A and B are shown apart, each in its own frame.
Chain A
Amino acid sequence: MYTLSSKLRLFSIILVVIGALGLTYGFLSAPKTIEDVKEMAAHDAHGGGHGDVKATSGDHANESHGTETHGKEDAHGGDAHYEHTLHQLQNKPWAALYVAAFFFFMIALGVLAFYAIQFASQAGWSPVLFRVMEAITAYLVPGGIILFVILALSGFHINHLFVWADPEVVAHDKLLQGKASWLNGGWFIFRAAFFLSGWMLYRHFAVKYSRKQDEDTAGNKWYKKSFKIAAGFLVFFIYTESMASWDWIMSFDPHWFSTLFGWYVFASLFVSGITTIALITIYLKSKGYMDFVNNSHIHDLAKFMFGVSIFWTYLWFSQFMLIWYSNIPEEVTYFITRIEDYKLPFFGMVVMNFVFPLLVLMNSDYKRINWFVVMAGVIILCGHYVDIFNMIMPATVGESWFIGVTEISAVLLFLGLFLFIVFKALTKAPLLAKGNPYIEESKHFHY
């Protein structure tokens, strides 16, 4: 049995407190009125020409806010630009919160999908890691509830995150009117509740059956049940994950659409989940709790990290290249705003998520060295945070983005919460799922 060390408990509580304080600061320091923005812009101008840049970029207003700006322009005249910047800056702490909430939730979801795949494919190597996976998916419930609350707040326009949720914007926007039958608050919230409850339901029963199988020494009744629900879940998951990615990420840019978006988000959450499994397994092994895990298991996880990183890149590039190549104005604005305003994060994440793991994890020997896998894993996780950042920020804060106190605090807040819940869940059951029919094979797994 794993016992939560007081150090780790304190560490995660400190993270949550620091994160909450920083995020509160982020919310408080966001400008309230247009006058605040003007004052900030004046300060920036003194600092050195930054105000000019903002003034020019105000003209090609971020696409998703475009109609809003034009609508206001008639009424307020010259204040339209400041109004636009005000909305971006007010969105900033919300978007930071949302990116971090989604990022940690997607790790739990990715692990859940990986767990189901291990059951459905009857993998012989992974059962020794099942308890780690079950513990990581424990974050699915609280993380999912937090995400749901944020989505509900945005879906009913408590904040400006989703432009389609603003009735005033929709009133002036033919395209959003056309999509209103899908993108409206009530239906949006209902879908979110449906997806989340479906995933949580699978998680609940999978863990329950896994515990029951531990006590069932005679047969494989609970294992077989788990196999069946895993197969059912995977079918449910691939539909709902795809739709969730339209709802929770693609609808930040409601004028834009991409057909492989669901797969792209899936690759991102899948590789983050696998990386987290590897990191937590290596941590527990280093503390002496998982002596039945050998370096062949780490090798297999590292192979998955390597392969899915390349899969992610394949999808990222396929989406980018098809849109870049055909250059259709209604599609390409998505990448134009990203390349103009987010050059470093947009291309930096390709280096972090592709070039780095490609070169580091290619060698078979390196995949067995713990610190190598940890280093690659940390870079991959940071890279996928930047990936989510790139998907959400351009549509919510536009050119006013910055990875500062607010963003880092939001990550720390959820990191603390994630660590606390996951390691708390690890104490709930023995670390070896001893009833699993493949456990002996897995213990002796050797590559």
Chain B
Amino acid sequence: MASKVIHALYTDDDVLMDAVKQVRAEHYHIEEVYTPFPVHGLDKVMGLAPTRLAITAFMYGCVGLTVAITMMNYIMIEDWPQNIGGKPSFSYIENMPAFVPIMFELTVFFAAHLMVITFYMRSKLWPFKEAENPDVRTTDDHFLMEVDASHHDLDTMTSFLSNTGAVEIKVIDKQEDNH
């Protein structure tokens, strides 16, 4: 479905933050904001929900700990409890100090790697992915705000956006949603 969006370009992150606040106060819908670097507080003024990535990492860590304990309990205690250098292999708890380094490392390993993979999946990043950048300057020194303009009067929106400090305003006909 064809839809109209306005691309407003800014050259300063402070101006951008103010613009985001004004646009939201006017109840226009911001589709996306492209910035060359993280702008602190941008997510807050845009009203984005906080990330739950840390919670997933905690759960992945628990999985890693469980894997480590189950693996070593099976291998070292249940399957073939050998006497290796006099270390007690009668129960898991008796030989636990020797397993702690592995338990720790696997917890960290699972938490870190699975969280990173979750991040890639959630933000749809992979090696041959086509870049979604609407304007090459947004990776260098420009900030771009994409505002939905389908059901609004284009002229009032354009003048409103240029009042917020935009250096360049473009009306774009989108053929398909690339999200």
Interface residues, chain A, with chain B CB atoms under 8 Å away = 317, 320-321, 324-325, 327, 362, 364
Pairwise interchain contact B97-A325, C-beta atoms closer than 8 A = yes
A362 contact set on B, CB distance < 8 A: 58
User: Contacts A362-B58, A364-B54 hold; do A327 and B86 have CB atoms under 8 A apart?
Assistant: yes
Q: Which single member of A321, A327, A364 contacts B100 (CB below 8 Å)?
A: A321
Indicate whether B121 reaches chain A with its CB closer than 8 angstroms: no
Listed by A's residue number, 12 A-B pairs whose Cβ atoms lie within 8 Å are A317-B97, A317-B100, A320-B97, A321-B97, A321-B98, A321-B100, A324-B97, A325-B97, A325-B98, A327-B86, A362-B58, A364-B54
B100 contact set on A, CB distance < 8 A: 317, 321
Q: Which 4 A-B pairs have the closest CB atoms?
A: A321-B97, A324-B97, A325-B98, A317-B100
Q: Considering only CB atoms, which chain A residue lies closest to B101 in the complex? A: A321
Interface string of B78-89 (1 = CB under 8 A from A): 000000001000
B138 to chain A, nearest CB (A): 27
B86 contact set on A, CB distance < 8 A: 327
* Interface range on chain B (Cβ under 8 Å from partner): under 10
B149 to chain A, nearest CB (A): 35
The docked-state distance in angstroms from the alpha carbon of A2 to that of B144 is 51
A124 to chain B, nearest CB (A): 15
The docked-state distance in angstroms from the alpha carbon of A325 to that of B85 is 10
B150 to chain A, nearest CB (A): 37
Q: Considering only CB atoms, which chain B residue lies closest to A322 in the complex? A: B97
The docked-state distance in angstroms from the alpha carbon of A17 to that of B177 is 76
Interface residues, chain B, with chain A CB atoms under 8 Å away = 54, 58, 86, 97-98, 100
The docked-state distance in angstroms from the alpha carbon of A362 to that of B111 is 14
The docked-state distance in angstroms from the alpha carbon of A88 to that of B71 is 46
The docked-state distance in angstroms from the alpha carbon of A300 to that of B6 is 42
Q: Considering only CB atoms, which chain B residue lies closest to A364 in the complex? A: B54
A324 contact set on B, CB distance < 8 A: 97
A320 contact set on B, CB distance < 8 A: 97
A355 to chain B, nearest CB (A): 13
A322 to chain B, nearest CB (A): 9
A364 contact set on B, CB distance < 8 A: 54
Q: Given contact pairs A320-B97, A362-B58, enumerate 10 new A-B contacts (beta carbons under 8 Å).
A: A317-B97, A317-B100, A321-B97, A321-B98, A321-B100, A324-B97, A325-B97, A325-B98, A327-B86, A364-B54
B31 to chain A, nearest CB (A): 29
B54 contact set on A, CB distance < 8 A: 364
Interface centre among B54, B58, B97, B100 (most CB of A within 10 A): B97
The docked-state distance in angstroms from the alpha carbon of A422 to that of B63 is 46
A327 contact set on B, CB distance < 8 A: 86
B21 to chain A, nearest CB (A): 18
A328 to chain B, nearest CB (A): 12
A321 contact set on B, CB distance < 8 A: 97-98, 100
B58 contact set on A, CB distance < 8 A: 362
The docked-state distance in angstroms from the alpha carbon of A325 to that of B100 is 12
Q: Considering only CB atoms, which chain B residue lies closest to A359 in the complex? A: B58
The docked-state distance in angstroms from the alpha carbon of A324 to that of B100 is 13
B98 contact set on A, CB distance < 8 A: 321, 325
The docked-state distance in angstroms from the alpha carbon of A184 to that of B84 is 43
The docked-state distance in angstroms from the alpha carbon of A364 to that of B98 is 32
B106 to chain A, nearest CB (A): 16
The docked-state distance in angstroms from the alpha carbon of A364 to that of B100 is 26
The docked-state distance in angstroms from the alpha carbon of A317 to that of B98 is 11
The docked-state distance in angstroms from the alpha carbon of A327 to that of B95 is 13
A367 to chain B, nearest CB (A): 13
The docked-state distance in angstroms from the alpha carbon of A320 to that of B97 is 9
The docked-state distance in angstroms from the alpha carbon of A320 to that of B54 is 31
Q: Considering only CB atoms, which chain A residue lies closest to B97 in the complex? A: A321
